[in-house]
DNA sequence: CAGCTGTATAGCAGGTTAGTTATATGGCTA
DNA sequence: TAGCCATATAACTAACCTGCTATACAGCTG
């Protein structure tokens, strides 16, 4: 059965573009490419598996904790980032599959 | 001399994402893939060479002429669309090279 | 289970975006 | 060149975004 790319992966381009239309959020995505390299060592939560600890992102962004929290929510709601809670901390990592789906669709459809 | 992709093509990702973060503007870009197919026949200005006549875009968008004008300005300022004035009318077409540059950079860097 | 700590939500202020109507601009055309 | 017609700009409003502080929530941990 034939489907358009949009149906196939059901990406909401407008939501994703809104999430990406922010220097702060682009910066977060960039940092999350290499959590271990961009953030201090963390005691719990493997940087490679679970991503970077929330608090490190807050500090590096240089905004208040609630502001950072909302940026991370925008990214997770758009499906670009995945949150993991563990022992009272929250870790964020890139959703590489979704990002690859997005760039693939853009290369074909934009 | 080595350059990052961002320097090489000097794309302002945030500006482009902001331009794309609008259902209306995504719609315009979609229509402009096939001006002859998506708009009425125009007397002057080859649809394929110069793009679609401004007035047709205004009508099809269903917003006021100034609102459409600003959407088109956002797209042209981001470099995604090219405007051509001719005999009193203005035509808009996709900047396929810029769009290809963008999707290429996203595939590599996002 | 009581308290503490990390994170999310509420509520507010300031700036930006997107729509409107009214008007200015600019270049054909007669 | 006088007028007209297509488009852009101005001015205003409503909605949205992003930052803040204060507070609620949730789940470890002693």
The residue extents of the domains of chain B are 12-109
pLDDT in tens, B29-38: 999 999 999 9
Q: Please calculate the CA angle A96-A102-A104 and round it to the nearest 5 degrees.
A: 100
Report which secondary-structure segment, H or E, holds B1: none
- φ and ψ of A97, to 5 deg: -65, -45
pLDDT in tens, B58-109: 999 999 999 999 999 999 999 999 999 988 899 999 999 999 999 999 999 9
Are the C-beta atoms of residues B74 and B25 closer than 8 Å to each other? yes
What is the architecture of the domain spanning A12-109?
Orthogonal Bundle (1.10)
- Cα distance from A24 to chain B (closest Cα, Å)? 10
Are the C-beta atoms of residues B64 and A75 closer than 8 Å to each other? no
User: What is the widest separation between alpha-carbon atoms in chain B?
Assistant: 50
Residue B67: nearest nucleotide (C-alpha to C1'):
C19
Distance in angstroms (rounded) separating the CA atoms of residues A30 and B108: 12
* CB-based contact, B20 to chain A, within 8 Å: yes
Residues in chain A: 110
What is the pLDDT at residue B47? Answer: 67
* CB-based contact, A3 to chain B, within 8 Å: no
Structure-model confidence comparison of residues B10 and A83, the more confident one? A83
- Cα distance from B71 to chain A (closest Cα, Å)? 15
Stretches where chain A sits below pLDDT 70 are 1-10, 43-47
Distance in angstroms (rounded) separating the CA atoms of residues B88 and B53: 11
Neighbours of B13 (CB within 10 A): 17
* CB-based contact, A18 to chain B, within 8 Å: yes
Report which secondary-structure segment, H or E, holds B53: strand B52-53
Structure-model confidence comparison of residues B75 and B2, the more confident one? B75
Partner-chain contact B22 A14, CB within 8 Å: yes
Kindly state the average pLDDT of the residues B3-24: 77
What is the pLDDT at residue B45? Answer: 63
Distance of alpha carbon A101 from the chain centroid: 14
């Amino acid at each position: 059965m034939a489907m358009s790319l949009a149906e196939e992966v059901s990406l909401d381009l407008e939501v994703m573009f809104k999430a990406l239309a922010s220097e702060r959020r682009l910066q977060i995505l960039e940092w999350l490419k290499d959590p271990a390299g961009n953030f201090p060592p963390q005691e719990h939560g493997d940087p490679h598996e679970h991503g970077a600890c929330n608090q490190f992102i807050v500090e590096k962004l240089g905004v208040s904790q609630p502001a950072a929290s909302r940026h991370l929510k925008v990214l997770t709601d758009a499906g670009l980032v995945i949150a993991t809670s563990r022992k009272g901390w929250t870790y964020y990592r890139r959703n590489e599959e979704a990002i690859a789906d997005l760039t693939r669709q853009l290369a074909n459809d934009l």
